[in-house]
Amino acid sequence: MAESPAFLSAKDEGSFAYLTIKDRTPQILTKVIDTLHRHKSEFFEKHGEEGIEAEKKAISLLSKLRNELQTDKPITPLVDKCVDTHLWNQYLEYQRSLLNEGDGEPRWFFSPWLFVECYMYRRIHEAIMQSPPIHDFDVFKESKDENFFESQDSIAALCTHLLQLKPVKDLREEQIQDEFFKLLQISLWGNRCDLSLSGGESSSQKADIIHCLQDLTPFILINDTESLWALLSKLKKTVETPVVRVDIVLDNSGFELITDLVFADFLFSSELATEIHFHGKSIPWFVSDVTVRDFNWIVERMKSSNLESMSTCGACWEAYARMGRWVYHDHAFWTLPHPYCVMPQVAPDLYAELQKAHLVLFKGDLNYRKLMGDRKWKFTFPFHQALSGFHPAPLCSIRTLKCELQVGLQPGQAEQLTASDPQWLTTGRYGILQFDGPL
């Protein structure tokens, strides 16, 4: 087997990884510090002087972290007592072992970008964990909730569209196929609403996305929707598979999560899937990633909305969860720095869970980076090979491009894109629906 290419890293000056570590991550840390500061009186009301002391401690730990990052200090082991601490410290040791003599310690601008960026979010969690009684405070909650409220018109339009299709199973097959394509693309473009890309600034969805789909089609660089449809419609017709399970590995909360839930509702209502399993993060992550609190909060907000289309969908979703047809899981592996090809060794229980699915959808850019090991693959390198043996079930990556990594393109496609739009890899303008089918 050919040797894998190098990792993406901030040592490549001018690269997106470099600009992320140099500019975007300090900006996110500053925003986190500011958020804690603004909640000072709330901490005091809840916890008295202890709350004020905790806020000071967390801010001091985060300021130290920001300084380490900006001055390219060595990466230090975690000191908290969480379930994943030893795995993180083991991984740091492993990074150390990869360095040649004389290269010293793993550092922010020289170690793999995936590792140091994940490490930063884990250190934010550590700073909060070490500051009781505010240890369960989600520093990103406000911006996630804001994204939902600011996108309400788009959400209502999407819910109205979904409800107009019901009962979905009464539609003709070509109508179901047409809507499947449409709602899958909406879930793809929902991935543009990413708060870590915007440094935590607003990134809500204001336009009615349904009417933009035709204009967005040319921006889908790889579109394997036909293969997904073929897989699910075949399973639906196979009497031997009474249970068809689709797993969705979630990315952002807010509008993107709504697009995922609408698509999941459609899969369920059209009987293309009988069970949907959602996978989220167990701690606040990459600013806008979904935690169980976000998932439950959104379903609750939808249910209690004074807009009928939203409250009807919210009530449906709650009922699916109650019936056990929609299941939410979280697992510490999703917030480790490991690429997914090591999941069978590091988290065999999670790998076994994904193997129960007939299809796994991976939403967003971070999932793509972990699927691809965050390496500098050639643009034309086959997707299946870049997965490096990771194949719990047929899988599909649904992402808008926000990092300098993409495989499976046609010869000449990347060069053409670079000529017309030099920033095509990192702005979120382009998307993929990239499938790796049954083995």
Half-sphere exposure of 264 (CA within 13 A, CB side): 31
Task: Answer for the pair 393, 354: CB distance below 8 angstroms, yes or no.
Answer: yes
pLDDT band at 273 (very low <50, low <70, confident <90, very high): very high
What is the distance between the alpha carbons of residues 36 and 18, in angstroms, rounded to a whole number?
A: 27
- Does residue 135 lie in a domain region? no
What is the distance between the alpha carbons of residues 94 and 85, in angstroms, rounded to a whole number?
A: 14
In tens, the pLDDT along 287-334 reads 999 999 999 999 999 999 999 999 999 999 999 999 999 999 999 999
Rg of the chain taking only CA atoms, in angstroms: 22
DSSP line for 232-291: HHHHHH-TT-S--EEEEE--BSTHHHHHHHHHHHHHHHTTS-SEEEEEEBSS--TTTB-B
Q: Is the pLDDT assigned to residue 71 strictly greater than 80?
A: yes
Task: Answer for the pair 326, 278: CB distance below 8 angstroms, yes or no.
Answer: yes
Alpha helices in 358-434 (DSSP H): 365-371, 383-386, 413-420
For the segment 367-389, the average pLDDT, to the nearest whole number, is: 98
For the segment 116-145, the average pLDDT, to the nearest whole number, is: 98
Domain that holds residue 111: 16-129
For residue 21, the domain's CATH number is 1.20.930.60
Reading phi first (left if > 0) and then psi (alpha if -120 to 50, else beta), residue 108 is in alpha
In tens, the pLDDT along 22-59 reads 999 999 999 999 999 999 999 999 999 999 999 999 99
User: Are 160 and 195 contained in the same domain?
Assistant: yes
**Residue 3's pLDDT is what?**
80
In tens, the pLDDT along 336-366 reads 999 999 999 999 999 999 999 999 999 999 9
What are the C-alpha distances in Å from 226 to residues 239, 374, 409?
22, 27, 17
User: Are 173 and 286 contained in the same domain?
Assistant: yes
Half-sphere exposure of 215 (CA within 13 A, CB side): 7
**Residue 439's pLDDT is what?**
85
In tens, the pLDDT along 402-423 reads 999 999 999 999 999 999 999 9
- Does residue 9 lie in a domain region? no
DSSP line for 126-191: HHHHTSTTSTT--TTHHHHHHHHHHTHHHHHHHHHHHHHH-SGGGS-HHHHHHHHHHHHHHHHHHT
What is the distance between the alpha carbons of residues 365 and 196, in angstroms, rounded to a whole number?
A: 11
User: Are 161 and 125 contained in the same domain?
Assistant: no
**Residue 438's pLDDT is what?**
93
What is the distance between the alpha carbons of residues 282 and 119, in angstroms, rounded to a whole number?
A: 15
What is the distance between the alpha carbons of residues 153 and 159, in angstroms, rounded to a whole number?
A: 10
pTM: 0.97
Token output for 127 = 């700073």
Task: Answer for the pair 427, 185: CB distance below 8 angstroms, yes or no.
Answer: no
What is the distance between the alpha carbons of residues 322 and 116, in angstroms, rounded to a whole number?
A: 39
CA neighbor of 52 nearest in space, from 126, 129, 125, 131: 131
What is the distance between the alpha carbons of residues 113 and 339, in angstroms, rounded to a whole number?
A: 12
Amino acid letter, 14: G
- Does residue 3 lie in a domain region? no
CA neighbor of 427 nearest in space, from 404, 406, 398, 396: 404
- Does residue 139 lie in a domain region? no
User: Are 125 and 150 contained in the same domain?
Assistant: no
Q: Is the pLDDT assigned to residue 200 strictly greater than 90?
A: no
User: Are 293 and 388 contained in the same domain?
Assistant: yes
Which of 94, 129, 164 terminates a domain? The answer is: 129
What is the distance between the alpha carbons of residues 166 and 335, in angstroms, rounded to a whole number?
A: 37
CB within 8 A of 172, min separation 6: which ones?
none
User: Are 92 and 152 contained in the same domain?
Assistant: no
CA-CA-CA-CA torsion sign (408, 412, 415, 421): negative
User: Are 189 and 280 contained in the same domain?
Assistant: yes
Domain tally for the chain?
A: 2
Token output for 300 = 């609750």
Neighbour tally for 213: CB within 10 Å: 15
User: Are 66 and 38 contained in the same domain?
Assistant: yes
Bridge partners (DSSP) of residue 248 are: 278, 361
In tens, the pLDDT along 421-439 reads 999 999 999 999 999 999 8
- Does residue 141 lie in a domain region? no
pLDDT band at 239 (very low <50, low <70, confident <90, very high): confident
For residue 186, the domain's CATH number is 3.40.50.10880
- Does residue 192 lie in a domain region? yes
- Does residue 137 lie in a domain region? no
User: Are 372 and 418 contained in the same domain?
Assistant: yes
- Does residue 180 lie in a domain region? yes
DSSP line for 282-322: SS--TTTB-BHHHHHHHHHHHHT-SSHHHHHHHHHHHHHHH
What is the distance between the alpha carbons of residues 416 and 407, in angstroms, rounded to a whole number?
A: 15
Q: Is the pLDDT assigned to residue 112 strictly greater than 60?
A: yes
Mean pLDDT value across the chain: 95
User: Are 353 and 410 contained in the same domain?
Assistant: yes
**Residue 198's pLDDT is what?**
47
User: Are 120 and 151 contained in the same domain?
Assistant: no
**Residue 207's pLDDT is what?**
63
CB within 8 A of 321, min separation 6: which ones?
299, 327, 328
User: Are 107 and 163 contained in the same domain?
Assistant: no
